Amino acid sequence: MTAPKETAAIQAGPIEAGPKKLFIKTYGCQMNVYDSERMAEAMGANGYVTTDRADDADMILLNTCHIREKAAEKVYSELGRLRPLKDANPDLKIGIAGCVAQAEGEEILKRAPVVDLVVGPQTYHRLPAMEQAARAGARPVDTDFPEEDKFERLPKGPRASRGPTAFLTVQEGCDKFCAFCVVPYTRGAEVSRPAERLLREARDLVERGVREITLLGQNVNGYHGEGPDGTWTLARLVRALAEIDGLWRIRYTTSHPNDMTDDLIAAHGDEAKLMPYLHLPVQSGSDRILKAMNRKHTAQDYLRLIERLRKARPDLALSGDFIVGFPGETDQDFEDTLGLVRAVGYHSAFTFKYSARPGTPAAERPVLPEALLDERLHRLQALITEQQKAAQLAQVGREVGVLFEKTGRLPGQMVGKSDYLHAVHVGDCDAKPGELRRVRITASAPNSLSGELVPVPA
Ligand code: SAH
Ligand code: SF4
Ligand code: F3S
């Protein structure tokens, strides 16, 4: 570890004319990851480059998440940890971006005097101007939902080369108003980006080395962007992206069961570049709870949908999101969730304890005892872990495509992702990052697989 320390010491020295350094910490979903990259590029216009050290930064940006109470509270504990840095360096600027910024706005300035600016997810194209205002002594807050397209207004930084995988936000916001969820309030109404711009951005990513693109949206399969010949669906966009040479894999997340259209199901059957993996949250297996959650579908609707998807693509791997302990959830409701999980057979799933969020309809209802939530979470997680293990073991002995991303911890080892999104470790491996190779899976560990390269025929 001596070399990086030396480099750090040099970096931390007083290089007056060097670029300013921006440290971004990202919480929450992949859309925040995408937004953080855009903010970093935009701040290039103000002479910033990114750093991975907070104590070395001229500006620190926390890109925050408001989805559960714990996620939101993390921001304030992080601000407490940053306080000494600000004391040591009064020129340091601290900004709050993302969904906590949107939800709490001005309140953040009152609660946290170290904060210099607050910018919502829809206005970060204005961040460079806000940073200048903060340097001039103001404490700007901007949480508008502006008419203009922020992606088009972002200052363009220099093009950097990229790793083999990238996110591309195609849709933002949500009109579904599930009774527990803050997203419709923090991200606003559903808006889809025009297809031509997305194709342009995708081509640009591919030119810079990207081989796999994950299309992002809070309701990505509700995509309805303006195309050259009318409104495009997500399936249409996927098919157009699939025509880009050099782009090998396409994924999308997160989907809502009610927007799983026939053309998208068909694409899973016949579009080879669309990967056989689908994140399709259902939240609960009880019709009573689904109704109270305002999900607007039943457990049967969901199971029938999975059946149709598997008919189109029999090896489709499924993942989901579940909330346990929604207000009013009885033992039977929870058993129905376990039953649905058994009926589907997930490759993986995220499980959450219900968290009452201010301003959402469900927050009006009495919460269940914490111990009950813990017990249900534990039981659901155990079932999902069992299914995840079974799904991984079923891969042993099979040959899969692996897109290599980086070197592993062991010498000569490379790590990549399979078509089914399993992390795959290959030892003694001559594949380079960005190469797609056939790998025979030989073993399964708790959260990854290992395998060996299948020799390429001469
Ligand atoms: N748009 C996606 C998911 C958005 S948030 C969808 O409709 O599925 C990601 C996940 O967080 C949700 O699927 C849900 O499982 C969980 N979540 C959202 N609000 C929550 C809350 N108040 N308490 C606990 N979990 C929550
Ligand atoms: Fe939240 Fe429901 Fe919208 Fe998903 S569909 S973002 S859970 S309101
Ligand atoms: Fe969190 Fe906002 Fe994403 S609340 S999950 S960062 S949309």
Structural domains of the chain, with CATH? 6-150 (3.40.50.12160), 159-275 (3.30.750.210), 276-394 (3.30.750.200), 399-453 (2.40.50.140)
Q: Ligand 3: which of 25, 26, 30, 32 to mutate, most ligand atoms within 8 Å of CB?
A: 32
- Residue 12's alpha-carbon distances to 7, 50, 57, in angstroms, are 9, 14, 9
Cβ < 6 Å from ligand 1: which residues?
67-68, 180-181, 183, 218-219, 254, 256, 281, 283, 321, 323, 352, 354-355, 357
Q: Using one digit for the tens of pLDDT, what is the confidence trace for 61-98? A: 999 999 999 988 999 999 999 999 999 999 999 999 99
**pLDDT bucket at 274, cuts 50 / 70 / 90:** very high
Q: Is the C-beta atom of 96 inside 6 A of ligand 2?
A: no
For 220, the token pair is 């990505």
The strand order across the sheet containing 277-279 reads: 277-279, 317-324, 348-353
Q: What is the pLDDT of residue 154?
A: 81
Residue 5 has pLDDT above 70, yes or no: no
What percent of the chain has pLDDT above 90?
90
Q: Which of 31, 176, 182, 190 to mutate to test the pocket of ligand 2 (most atoms within 8 A of CB)?
A: 176
For residue 90, count CB atoms less than 10 angstroms from its CB and return exposed for 0-12, middle for 13-18, buried for 19 or more.
exposed
90 Cα distance to chain centroid: 33
Ramachandran quadrant class, 286 (left: phi over 0; alpha: psi -120 to 50; beta: rest): beta
Per-residue confidence at 4, pLDDT binned at 50, 70, 90? very low
**Is the CB of 181 within 6 Å of ligand 2?**
yes
Q: Mean pLDDT check: name the lowest of 5-14, 247-256, 333-342.
A: 5-14
Q: How confident is the model at residue 18 (pLDDT cuts 50, 70, 90)?
A: confident
Contact 354, 373 (CB under 8 A): yes
Work out the average pLDDT over 163-179.
96
State residue 2's pLDDT score: 34
For ligand 2, is residue 218 a contact (CB within 6 Å)? yes
Decide if pLDDT at 356 tops 70.
yes
- Token pair, residue 168, equals 């591309």
The pLDDT of residue 152 = 82
What per-residue confidence (pLDDT) applies to 3? 37
Report the chain's mean pLDDT, rounded to a whole number: 93
pLDDT at site 157: 66
Q: Residue 150 has what pLDDT?
A: 85
Average pLDDT over residues 388-413: 96
Q: Comparing 131-140, 160-169, 234-243, 426-435, which segment has the lowest mean pLDDT?
A: 160-169
Q: Closest residue (by CA) to atom 1 of ligand 2? A: 181
Q: Which tokens in the block code for residue 217? A: 């949206």
Kindly report the pTM of this predicted structure.
0.93
Identify the pLDDT of residue 456.
82
* Spatial distance between the Cα atoms of 360 and 262, rounded to a whole number of angstroms: 32
Q: Answer whether residue 117 shows pLDDT above 80.
A: yes
Decide: 422 in ligand 2 pocket, CB within 6 A: no
pLDDT of residue 322: 98
Angstrom distances, CA of residue 45 to CA of 59, 143, 154:
14, 21, 10
Angle at the Cα of 364 (from 281 to 340), degrees rounded to 5? 25
The amino acid present at 330, given as its one-letter code, is T
Rounded Cα gap, residues 274 and 250, in angstroms: 5
* Structure confidence at residue 158 as a pLDDT band (50, 70, 90): low
pLDDT higher than threshold 70 for residue 8: no
Q: Which two tokens stand for residue 340?
A: 């649905």
Q: Please report where in the chains the tokens 């992606």 appear, as a residue.
A: 151
Percent helix, percent strand, percent coil in the chain, to nearest 5: 40, 25, 35
Which pLDDT band holds residue 10 (cuts at 50, 70, 90)? very low
Mean pLDDT of 265-276: 98
- How confident is the model over 121-153, as pLDDT tens digits? 999 999 999 999 999 999 999 999 887 788 888
Q: Which residues are annotated as a binding site for [4Fe-4S] cluster?
A: 29, 65, 99, 174, 178, 181
Residue 283 is classified by DSSP as B
Contact 401, 438 (CB under 8 A): yes
* Residue whose token pair is 């933002």: 172
Q: Which ligand is nearest to the CA of 31?
A: 3
Among the ranges given (6-20, 197-211, 326-340), the one the predictor scored with the smallest mean pLDDT: 6-20
> Average pLDDT of 208-232?
96
